[in-house]
Amino acid sequence: MPELPEVETVCRSLRPFLVGKTVEKCEVKEEKLIKSSTAAKFVQDICGSTFTAVNRRGKYILLETDKGETLVVHLRMTGKLLISDKTEKVGKHTHVRFILNDDQKELRYDDTRKFGILYLGDRQKLSELNGLASLGYEPLSEEFTPQVLAEMMRKCQKKIKAFLLDQTKIAGIGNIYADEILFQAKIHPESVTKNITDEKVITALHFAIRDRLSQGIKYGGSSIKDYVNSFGESGSFQKMHKVYGKYGEACSECGTILEKITSAGRTSTYCPHCQKKY
C-alpha cells in the first residue's frame, strides 16, 4: 500500500498538471469504487468542476474543486492516479476516467485489485468520511514535536510497531517506513511503547520518523511492487532500505542476520543486535 511518501509524490506529480483543469466528461466503469453516491450522481457532480488545489492528509489525496467540494482518493493496495495521453488505449484496470479541457492529457484512476475509494463531498463535511476525520498528527508538520510524540507514547500500551501504524496517532506511516524508522532509531518492533521513556531515544525516534519519510519523498517513494507516480515513474527509495524486505540478509550496521516476526498483525524485519527491546 502506498504510504505517506508515495502519496505525497503522487500529489506533487499531479499538482502542476491538474490545478486549473476542468472536468468536461467523466466515465466510471467500476461503481463500487465510488463511496459518496451512485456513479451517476458522482459523474453529474464532478463534471464542470475545476480543480483548484491538490493536497494530502495521511494517505489520502485531496483534490479541491471550485464548487467547494473535495474529491478524496485513497489508493489502498494497487490504486494509481495517472496522467495519460487521450490517445492511449484504456487499460482493463482503468476504472474511472476524467476527461479534461486539455488537448492531449486526461486523468485516469487505475486499480488492479479494486480496493481503492473515490469520495466526492462538501469540503466542510469531510468529517463524515470514515477514517479521514480521525487521522492523527502529520509527522512532517511543525505541530509534531518530540514533546508531542513523548506525550502520546507515555499513554500507549501498544507495541511500538502498532503505535507507528495507528493512523489516529500519526498519519501516513505503513509497514515499510515503520520498519525503516525503528531500525534507524534502534528500537525493537515489539517494545512496549510506554516503556520507552529515555528522552534521547524518543528524540531519536522523532528524528527517524521525519528523516525516513522525508528521504522517501526525496527519492520518489518506494516501488516495491507496482507503485508509480502520476507519470508512471517508479520511485527509488527501496534501494535505500536497510531492513524492509531484507530478512535473512546481514545487517548493514553490525553484520548480524536480520530476523522477522509478526507484530501488530504485520511482518516486521529487524536486527536483533542493533534494535533494543524496551
Residue 16 cell numbers, joined: 502542476
Every domain of the chain with CATH number 3.20.190.10 lies at: 4-128
The active-site residue out of 67, 266, 272, 276 is 266
Query: Which of 56, 59, 159, 212 is labelled catalytic?
Result: 59
Q: What is residue 264's predicted lDDT score, i.e. its pLDDT?
A: 65
Q: Characterize 201-216 residue by residue with b for buried, 16 or more Cβ atoms within 10 angstroms of its Cβ, and e for exposed.
A: bbebbbebbeebbeeb
Residues 74 and 99: beta-carbon distance below 8 Å: no
Task: Classify domain 146-270 by CATH number.
Answer: 1.10.8.50
Q: Kindly report, residue by residue over 124-134, the tens digit of the pLDDT.
A: 888 778 789 89
Q: 3 catalytic, yes or no?
A: yes
Q: Which of 2, 5, 139, 189 is catalytic?
A: 2
| 2 among known catalytic residues | yes
List the grid coordinates of 218. 526525496
Residue 101 β-bridge partners: none
pLDDT tens digits, residue range 43-92? 999 999 999 999 999 999 999 999 999 999 999 999 999 999 999 999 99
* CA atoms lying within 13 Å on the CB side of residue 256: 13
Q: What is the pLDDT of residues 88-114, one digit of tens each?
A: 999 999 999 999 999 999 999 999 999
Choose which CATH entry (3.20.190.10, 3.40.1010.10, 3.40.50.1100, 1.10.10.10) describes domain 4-128. Answer: 3.20.190.10
* Range(s) of the chain covered by CATH 1.10.8.50: 146-270
Is 139 one of the annotated active-site residues of the chain?
no
- The backbone torsions φ and ψ at residue 7, rounded to the nearest 5 degrees and listed phi first, read -65, -40
Between CA 107 and CA 143 the distance in angstroms is: 34
Active site residue 266: yes
Which set of grid coordinates corresponds to residue 40?
Answer: 451517476
Q: What is the CA radius of gyration of the chain?
A: 20
Catalytic position from the list 3, 64, 106, 180:
3
